[in-house]
Structures are given as C-alpha cells and as structure tokens.
Amino acid sequence: MTNSFSTQRIDPYTPPAEHLRLQAENPVAQVAWGDGKIWAITKHADVRAMLSDARFSSDRSLPGHPTGRAYVPGSLRQLIEMDPPEHTTARSRIMNEFTVKKIAAMRPRITEIVDETIEAMLAGPSEVDLVDALSLPVPSMVIAELLGVPYEDHSFFQENSAVFVEIDATAEEKAVAIGNLKAYIGKLVAERVDQPGEDILSRQLAAGANPEELTAMGFLLLIAGHETTANMISLSVMTLLDKPELAQQLRDNPSLMPGAVEELLRYFTIAEIGGLRLATEDLEIDGTIIPAGDSVFGLTNTANRDPEVFEDPNRIDFTRGARNHLAFGFGPHQCLGQNLARLELEVVLAAVLRRLPTLRLAVPREQASFKEFGPNYGVYSLPVAW
Ligand code: HEM
C-alpha cells in the first residue's frame, strides 16, 4: 500500500505531521512521490544505516534516480552525485580545506563580515526582512571569501547568488544568475591557472583538479552552503526572538553557544528530505527489503526527533550535548561544509544578541512565510524591527 506524503506542518517548530506518523506507525514505508513512489525511512538508526551504505547510490546518471533533475549524458558530475570510489578520490582532494582548524582560522574574517552586514542593517530603516538583510548576505560573502573572490566583485557575487534563491525571481532570471556565477567562477579559476595564489582554488589546481571540475566544485560550494546556512540563520534568530528565555540563557552564559547551535541544527534539520538514493541491489532496512531499482530517502527531520535516541526530543535544550544528530547527513556524503556552517551560526547569533538587543519580530511569528515544500525547510521572509 502507498502512503500519502505531505510536508504540511502544524507549526514552524514541528516536523510535518505525516512524517512523524510514518515514524510511529510505519518507519520504512512506500509513499507517493511525484508521479511514482519512494521508500521513506524515518528512524534514526535506519536513516544512518541507509546513508552509510553506498549501495544506496547517489549517482543521478543511473536510470530512475530520484534526484528529480534531468541528467544530461556526458555532463560533469558533482561530488554530491558521485559514488565511491570516484567520490572518495574527489572528496579527499578537497576535504583538507574544511578541517576544524582551517575553518577556525576564518573566524576573524567571518566576524568582520557579520559586523559589516549588521552595520549596514543598522544604517537603514529600523524594520527589515532579516532574510534579505542578514541571513542571505552572510553565507554568500563567506563563500566569496572562501573562493578568494576579490573585494570589488563581492556585490556582483552576492546579488547573483541572491537571485537563485529569490522566490519571486522568474526561471529566466535564475538561469541568467546561475550563468553569471558559473562564468565568474570559471574566470576566477582561469586566473588562478595563470597566477596561482594562496587560496583554495590555487591549492586545488596544485593538487591536480582540472579547471572545469574545479569550477563545478566552486559552484557546488555556493549552492550547498548558501541557502542552507541562510535558512538556519533565519530559523535560529526567529527562535531566539520568539522564545526570549532561550536568548537569555545565551546572554547569561555565552559558552552555551556551540551547544545551542548544535541543538538548533538538530531541532530544525532543514535538509529534511535528505539523502535521495537509488537501491542498486535488493537491500534490507529494518527487516524490509528495498528492491533493486527502487528509490529511497532518509527523513532526517524525524530521525532527529526519534524518541529512541533523543530524550524528550521536541524540547529545545542547549545543554543536550547531542552531536549524533543527522542534520548534516551521515556516511560518505556527510556535509563537507559543516564546520563552516557551525562557525557562521555561532558568529551570527552571538552578534545578533550583542549588537541588536532590542530586535523583535515585526509580525506575529505565524505570519512569517515558511518553506514547507522542500527540499530544504526555511523561511522566505522574516520581518524584524529594533
Ligand atoms: C552535503 C546539510 C552547509 C557544502 C550536505 C548534506 C547535508 C547537508 C544533509 C548531505 C547530502 C546527501 O547525503 O546527499 C547542510 C546544512 C548546512 C550546510 C544543514 C547549513 C546549516 C554547507 C556549507 C557548505 C556545504 C556552508 C560549504 C560551503 C556541502 C557539500 C556537500 C554537502 C560540498 C556534498 C558532500 C559530498 O557529497 O561528499 N550538506 N549543509 N554545506 N554540503 Fe552541506
């Protein structure tokens, strides 16, 4: 029997009711998906098992792969679409750039970016859409920094990155922005071929990346790290404004910040329908056989509220200390940029608490518009005032 599958939520803090029902009643279940069906895996242990087994393939060139994007034969595959051993080789080349130590060295620059963005916000009217004013600009500037985009090109980079996540932008406008960014990153890579510097692109070229692959990688970093981080910034700030006792905990005890970020990542699990995969052979999950050729996804949102793993899972607890959540996925494709995302969130939330002490929601929380229809959960706009 095929189950219905809705992403509708009863409130912004609770995963879709339909997902929670599946976890409670039918944790490995076939659900309606587009014109066909897909296996929804909802328990923490089962999602982990599925994501760590590369026989559940990420290769979207396989016929029937559920990523929902048309694969153009011969086109370049992104890291996120590769299986081992191709994936292992490609990932090991870039992994070095995202270690805790390398990312921690970015803290001073990220702090400057956040301060400048808040400065610009404070210089304008005292009511803004937080998404446009803070949540989207910060991650795009950080990725520009990571890629070594020169300062004078930052606004070009930021304006074009904003278009492809803009709800009102037409498909044509988005295509133009994507074309602009790919061409720009391509130009940046070509410049580094001629004149290597001390940046990530030069190091990747020196490590053997070819310019075309590296351009695709630069673009993937932007796609993967921009809107995701922006959604987490908006939802986290919304939570601190909507639940002042949580903001107070962080003001009283700033050392709670890393734990708070971890808990907010678990709680919102914005990549909620993470891990779209195709079974390449008959595979068993929790006693259910997933036949070869069937599609699956891991509902990390319900996995991260699994009462068998997280005590009182619907409570936000900054002291929980749970790092075994699946907000960044699990297994070979686990988020490459997770240390960077954590750092950005820490710096932004600390700056908001410090520099915007009177910040408040400018509309009742229910009137903010939420991204309910995937693939990532988030907020389209969050009016705030101070
Ligand atoms: C992969 C979540 C921020 C780069 C992933 C995956 C998840 C995820 C769930 C696994 C996808 C899969 O299994 O198919 C998030 C969240 C973020 C975030 C929730 C922010 C809060 C970032 C940032 C970057 C980044 C800042 C880099 C600038 C990547 C890349 C992959 C990835 C390159 C593919 C890794 C691979 O296939 O080996 N992310 N991400 N992400 N993420 Fe993130």
Question: DSSP for 121-167?
Answer: HHHS-SEEEHIIIIITHHHHHHHHHHHT--GGGHHHHHHHHHHTT-T
Which pLDDT score, from 0 to 100, does residue 73 have?
A: 62
> For residue 57, what are the β-bridge partners?
278
* Chain Cα centroid distance, residue 283: 28
Sign of CA dihedral 167, 170, 173, 174: positive
Pocket flag, ligand 1, residue 50 (CB < 6 Å): no
Residue 220 Cα to ligand 1 middle (Å): 9
Round to whole Å and give the CA distance between 235 and 268. 8
Q: Which atom of ligand 1 is nearest to the CA of 90?
A: 38
Which pLDDT score, from 0 to 100, does residue 245 have?
A: 98
Residue 338 Cα to ligand 1 middle (Å): 7
Pocket flag, ligand 1, residue 229 (CB < 6 Å): yes
Q: How distant, in Å, are the alpha carbons of 120, 257, 321 from that of 345? A: 19, 9, 17
Residue nearest to atom 1 of ligand 1 (CA): 335
Pocket flag, ligand 1, residue 333 (CB < 6 Å): yes
Which pLDDT score, from 0 to 100, does residue 72 have?
A: 63
∠ CA 21-41-91, rounded to 5°: 140
Ligand 1 mutation pick, 267, 328, 343, 379, max ligand atoms within 8 A of CB: 328
Q: What pairing do the DSSP bridges indicate for beta strands 295-298 and 36-41?
A: parallel
Length of the chain: 386
Quote the DSSP letter at residue 362: S
Pocket flag, ligand 1, residue 337 (CB < 6 Å): yes
Residue 364 Cα to ligand 1 middle (Å): 31
Round to whole Å and give the CA distance between 287 and 290. 10
Residue type, 87: H
Residue nearest to atom 42 of ligand 1 (CA): 335
Pocket flag, ligand 1, residue 298 (CB < 6 Å): no
Q: Which atom of ligand 1 is nearest to the CA of 340?
A: 26
Which pLDDT score, from 0 to 100, does residue 2 have?
A: 63
pLDDT tens digits, one per residue of 235-266: 999 999 999 999 999 999 999 999 999 999 99
Task: Check if the interface score ipTM surpasses 0.95.
Answer: yes
Quote the DSSP letter at residue 276: -
Residue 274 Cα to ligand 1 middle (Å): 10
User: First CA to last CA across the chain, in angstroms?
Assistant: 52
∠ CA 249-252-258, rounded to 5°: 60
Which pLDDT score, from 0 to 100, does residue 3 have?
A: 66
Contact between 378 and 230 under an 8 Å Cβ cutoff? The reply is yes
Q: Which atom of ligand 1 is nearest to the CA of 326?
A: 9
Round to whole Å and give the CA distance between 20 and 43. 10
Pocket flag, ligand 1, residue 275 (CB < 6 Å): yes
Quote the DSSP letter at residue 3: B
Ligand 1 mutation pick, 201, 335, 342, 376, max ligand atoms within 8 A of CB: 335
Which pLDDT score, from 0 to 100, does residue 163 have?
A: 87
Q: Which structure tokens are listed for 326? A: 């699946």
3-state SS, residue 374: coil
Round to whole Å and give the CA distance between 245 and 263. 15
∠ CA 9-10-12, rounded to 5°: 70
Which pLDDT score, from 0 to 100, does residue 112 have?
A: 97
Ligand 1 mutation pick, 78, 106, 228, 263, max ligand atoms within 8 A of CB: 228
Residue 328 Cα to ligand 1 middle (Å): 6
Residue 126 Cα to ligand 1 middle (Å): 34
Query: Per residue of the chain (386 residues), what is the pLDDT tens digit?
Result: 566 678 888 889 999 999 999 999 999 999 998 888 999 999 999 999 999 999 999 998 898 888 765 556 666 788 999 999 999 999 999 999 999 999 999 999 999 999 999 999 999 999 999 999 999 999 999 999 999 998 889 889 888 988 877 878 888 998 899 899 999 999 999 999 999 988 999 999 999 999 999 999 999 999 899 999 999 999 999 999 999 999 999 999 999 999 999 999 999 999 987 789 999 999 999 999 999 999 999 999 999 999 999 999 999 999 999 889 999 999 999 999 999 999 999 999 999 999 999 999 999 888 888 988 777 899 999 999 99
pLDDT tens digits, one per residue of 288-339: 999 999 999 999 999 999 999 999 999 999 999 988 999 999 999 999 999 9
Q: Which atom of ligand 1 is nearest to the CA of 277?
A: 14
Q: How distant, in Å, are the alpha carbons of 32, 186, 370 from that of 7? A: 12, 37, 11
Q: Which helix (H) or strand (E) holds 322?
A: none
Contact between 380 and 371 under an 8 Å Cβ cutoff? The reply is yes
Alpha helices in the chain (DSSP H): 17-25, 44-51, 86-95, 100-104, 107-123, 130, 137-147, 154-163, 171-194, 200-206, 211-242, 244-252, 257-268, 300-303, 338-355
Residue nearest to atom 37 of ligand 1 (CA): 80
Q: Which structure tokens are listed for 164? A: 């492809």
Residue nearest to atom 36 of ligand 1 (CA): 333
Round to whole Å and give the CA distance between 18 and 9. 9
Residue 66 Cα to ligand 1 middle (Å): 18
